[in-house]
Structure formats: structure tokens, C-alpha cells
Structure 1
Amino acid sequence: MNNISWRGIRAFIYVAEHGGFTAAAEVSGFSKANLSQLVTDLEAALSVQLLYRTTRQLRLTEIGQGYYERCKLAMQQLDSAAEWASQSTDELKGLIRMNAVGGPFGEDLLAPLIIDFQRQHPDIRVDLDFSSIHVDLIASHYDLVMRMGELPDSSLIARRLHSVTTRYVASPEFLQTHHGIKEPDDLKNLPLICGSVDHWTLSRAAEQKTIHVAQGIKVTSGRVMRQAALAGLGVTRLADVYVQADLQAGKLIEVLPEWSEQTQLTLLCPPLRHQLHRVRVLMEWLKEHFEARYQDALVREPG
């Protein structure tokens, strides 16, 4: 290890991430020749080949791919440790990178709380991303994510925000002509409004039923699914924040209420990032204020 340069490892990471020496030079501050020499020296120190180089293509070897993944994680941890060491443990300043589910959960509930938080802590900047990509929180650059469902990794720091109820609903007009929905199997021959998942697993105690959507419409927006249900196009499956106000107003009617489901909405943070005071303060802020905002949203008709 004494012969391995940290600059060489960083150069290799840049090249691996950007697919070549030219692209890596544009973002790294190294020259193309310097990057090439650093990576060559790293390969010599390791006595392995990390890259396949041709005149037209550069790609990682199998060993290079594994080495990149381990070095990337190690560098992220070192950068986090350096950031933590360089700041006062009581200082509330700096950047927090956060990823969250979108729709009403992220845009209508989380975002206003983040805005309020930044008003109170103007030296903290929260970069909030609503992309729906699956995030490996340990390996990514995010400090914090908000997710629905089962916790993916027990090593993460978790704060439960709210238990979301998913309901099966339809308009009164639809149910006038499609009455008698008493069991999940009764949905099989009905038009259903689904999102990205075209099968529904309904649970009641230890009993489970799976319904495959055979007819109806498919849209990847909860708001549009609600609008389709209000228009009488079928039965849909949505979280309570989408439909609770409509249920109370009689615009939608719940079917199969005993088959409604509970799903946890949770904040997740890598242990190393949780050591940053600003991240802990934001987590506790959201934990303290999220429930009241959620309850308020249940009685408001979605926009």
C-alpha cells in the first residue's frame, strides 16, 4: 500500500466514471497525460490491469470494476470523515443532499418543511431531488433519503415519519353499474386504474390475494390515477393522502376496506453522514413536524 498514490486512485475513479481520459481531464483538473501516467503507475503498484485500452474504446477489466467500486466507497467515506472533522460539531452550516419520493409525499409534504427549515437555518443548503431512481444510500452521495416500504439495509439510521394507508376506491357512478365488490377476486373482471405495478397484492391478516390488471388504464402518476377514478373509469389503489378528502366528500367510495394496507414512510441516513450535526438536526426537524402536515393534507383536496 505504501507504493500506491491516493492521487492515482482518484485519477482512476475519474477515468472509470467518465469513460475515458479526455472526459475525465475536463472535470478533474488533471491533464490527460497526467491521468494516464497516474493510472499506469497505480496498475504497476497493484500488479494488475485495471483498464482495457484501445484506440477507440476504454473499459474496466473485471478486477478494475471491483477495485473501482471499493475505492469509490472508500473515498466517499474519507471525504465524509474529512468534512466532519473540519467542522465544529455544533455548527449548522453546509450542504445536505437529499433524495425523496415525489408526488404529494415529496412535493406537497416534504418540500414545504424543507423550505421552513432553511428559513430557520440560512447557512444550511438542502439539495432536494425527487428522481425515482433506486438509491444505494451507502454508495451514493446522498446524506438522507425518504422512502416508502421495507427498510433496505438495517445498518442505516432510520426515523419513521408516518404510516401510510393504501385504499381501494372508485366513484359512486362506477359502483352503481359495478356493484357487489366484496372480495379481491371480484376485481378481476373490472376495469382497474393502476400505476407502474400491474398486479396488486391485497393483504388481510395472514391472508393474501394477488390481482393482475387485465383491463382498464395504466398511468405512472398518482394524481392522474385519482382523476381517472373521479371520472368513473374504474377502481384504483392509492395512498390516503391522495383520496381521503374525496372519501369524506363522497366523491369516491372505498371498496374492500378490510384489505387496506399500511406502509411505512421513513427517513434513512448512512451512519457516517448521521455524524454531521446539520443532518441530525434536519432529521429531527422532519420527524417533529411531518405528522401534523400529513394530517392536514388528508383533509385538503389534492391539487
Structure 2
Amino acid sequence: MIMNKFDKLSTFITVVEENGFAAAAKKKGVTTGTISKQIALLESELGVQLLNRTTRQLSLTEIGKTYYEYCKNPLQELELADRVIAESKKEATGTLNILASRYFAITHIIPKLSAFMRLNPRLQINLQLDERFPDLEKEDIDVLFGISIEGTDDLVRRRVAKTRYTLCASPQYLKKFGTPLLPADLQKHHLISHMMRKPNNIIHFINDESIKVEPALFLNDTFAMRECALLGNGIVNLHDFLVADALKEGKLVELLSDFQLPEMNVYLYYKQSRYKVLKIRKFIDYFVGI
């Protein structure tokens, strides 16, 4: 009964939008008589006349206009939902190129990849683990994970996680060199920094306070920075997901927590023009949706 009603509504919408029974019949692949019969049945059920019929033209009655406005959007949404379901049944193929930092990939991406790969068995994934800002105009990267990445107006970002910077050092280091109590105290300590921080080497705190430091050691890998801190080589300022386990186990101690900035978002980046590509859309929708 409901499906029959939807069929009639769909026919009515098509007649209005195609401006005639013959054009509607052609679009639906049925006879003009079938279209006319469905409209007549719909009008009979409603007890009103929806269309003014003459030999030369077809027009909506006043109540027909109102009915059309109420009906067109739900049917469009239903058709869209049907298309989405049909599209979801298609298989993604080819190669998907993803770029993320090593530790974020280990903690946030790789644990979720197995289920996605089972859903898309014909899709090959290249997950590049690197800590840099790529040129999305020149490099063949479909999806990128990061915090603050600049690009063209076509670059879209979707939030996937939260993080905050955490200053920390090992108990051995603090026993030997003391614990900084104020941001300015960092200038007297051994800092371990990422090479991407050169040449500014500025650490930001709440209330717009910033401290310029001169690190004793530069590395181009956050995992290596963490290991250096664990060995007592100095103080690091790393994302919480990098040091959470070590802090919990007492291998690292958080510093200046009252001065640290609040949480920030981690985003999934992609080019809007590439969202139409099935393999990219499936990955984005899956990863953002879980």
C-alpha cells in the first residue's frame, strides 16, 4: 500500500517536472495511459484535483501546487538514499595513498584499518609514515592526517581526534637537573626538539606566553624524541598520544601542566574535488564515521 502510494507520488512529481504526461511516460519507460491512470488514482485517493488538463497544456491546481511542494523533497531524499545505498555496494579499487606521522598511525589509524580492508578487499593502501607538510598540488596523496596544514581553497578538513602538547622528562633527568616550575625555567634546561621547529624553536603557553628555547638536540622523528626523553637526555614537548603510556607508567613526568595550552584537533585532510573518487570517499566516510 505504502509502496503503491510512493509510485503514484513519484509519477505525479515527474509529470509536474516534465510538464506533461507524454514526457513523464517517456522518462519512466511506461505508456501515457499508465501515467494518466496513476494520477487519476492519486486524485481519487486524496479527493481533490491536482492537475488542470486541457488539450494544449497541463497546469497545477492551487491545492496541486501545495501538494507538490510538500511531496517533492521527501521523494528527492528517498531517491538520494537509494543512490547512496547503491553506491555503497560498489567495490573500491586501485591504490589509496595516505600520509600520517608514525605514532599517530600506530595509535589511531592502523587499529582501524583491518575492518576497512575487509570491507574493501580489492583496494590497495599505501600508508606513508612521515612527519612533514607535503605539497598536495604535486604529490600523489589522497588523504593526509595532521593538525595545522595550509593548502588551496579546495582543501577540506574533518576532525578525527583531539590532542594537546605535553612537556615531559624522565625522573632521572629531573633528579639530576631539577624540575622547571615556570615556562621561563625551560631556558636553563636541555630541550629536545623536532627539526621542523627550526629556526624559531618557540614553545607556546596559555595567556599568549611564548618562550624561545635553544634545544640541545634536534631530531626529525617524534618517536626518537620520545626515546631520548625516556633515556634522560632532556625535556620534550610532544602530543599526548605519544607519551600517554610512559606517563601512566611513571617513565616520564609531565611538566608545567598548569601553563599548557588546551586541546587541539587532529584533522583528516583531502581535496574537495577528489571526494567524488569512490576509494577516497569510502575511506573518509568510514574513518570519520567510527
Does TM-score exceed 0.5, indicating one fold?
Answer: yes
Aligned to 1:187, what secondary structure does the other structure show?
helix
Q: Which residue does 1:123 correspond to in 2? A: 122
C-alpha distance 279-163 of structure 1, shift in aligned 2 (>3 A)? same
8 Å Cα contact 1:194/1:213 also seen in 2: no
Aligned length in residues:
201
Distance in 1, matches of 2:91 and 2:103, equals 28
Tell me the secondary structure at the aligned position of residue 188 of structure 1: helix
* Equivalent position amino acid for 2:208 in 1: E
Structure 1 segments of 4+ aligned residues over 6 angstroms from their partners? none
Superposition pairs for residues 184-199 of structure 1, below 5 Å?
184-196=183-195, 197-198=197-198, 199=200
- The residue number in structure 1 matching 2:146 is 147
Q: How does 1:187-226 map to 2 (within 5 A)?
A: 187-196=186-195, 197-198=197-198, 199-214=200-215, 216-226=216-226
- Aligned-pair Cα RMSD in Å: 2.4
Amino acid at match of 2:228: A
Deviations 1:101-147 (A, max 9, x none): 23211244323423331122112222322344533324543322222
* Unmatched tracts of structure 1, length 5 or more: 1-87, 290-303
Tell me what 1:298 maps to: none
Give the TM-score, by structure 1 length: 0.59
| Counterpart contact for 1:247–1:254, Cα < 8 Å | yes
> Which residue in 2 is equivalent to 1:265?
266
Query: Do the aligned partners of residues 270 and 180 (structure 1) sit closer, same or farther apart at CA in structure 2, a change above 3 Å counting?
Result: closer
1:164-183 counterparts in 2 under 5 A? 164-183=163-182
Give 1:279 shift.
Answer: 1.8
The structure-2 alpha-carbon separation of the partners of 1:230 and 1:188, relative to structure 1 and needing over 3 Å to count, comes to same
CA distance, structure 2, for counterparts of residue 150 and residue 137 of structure 1:
10
2:161 alignment partner in structure 1: 162
For the residue of structure 2 that corresponds to 1:119, the secondary structure is helix
1:82 — aligned with what?
A: none
Which structure's CA Rg is the greater one? 2
Structure 1 residues 150, 128: CA separation in 2 closer, same or farther (over 3 Å shift)?
Answer: closer
Measure, in 2, the Cα distance between the counterparts of 1:97 and 1:142.
8
5 Å matches for 1:1-303?
89-90=87-88, 91-196=90-195, 197-198=197-198, 199-214=200-215, 216-261=216-261, 262-289=263-290
Partner of 1:46: none
Q: State the TM-score, normalizing by the size of structure 2.
A: 0.61
> Which amino acid is the alignment partner of residue 167 of structure 2?
Y
Q: Which amino acid aligns with 1:258?
A: D
SS of structure 2 residue aligned to 1:269 = strand
Identity %: 19
Question: What SS does structure 2 have at the residue aligned with 1:207?
Answer: coil
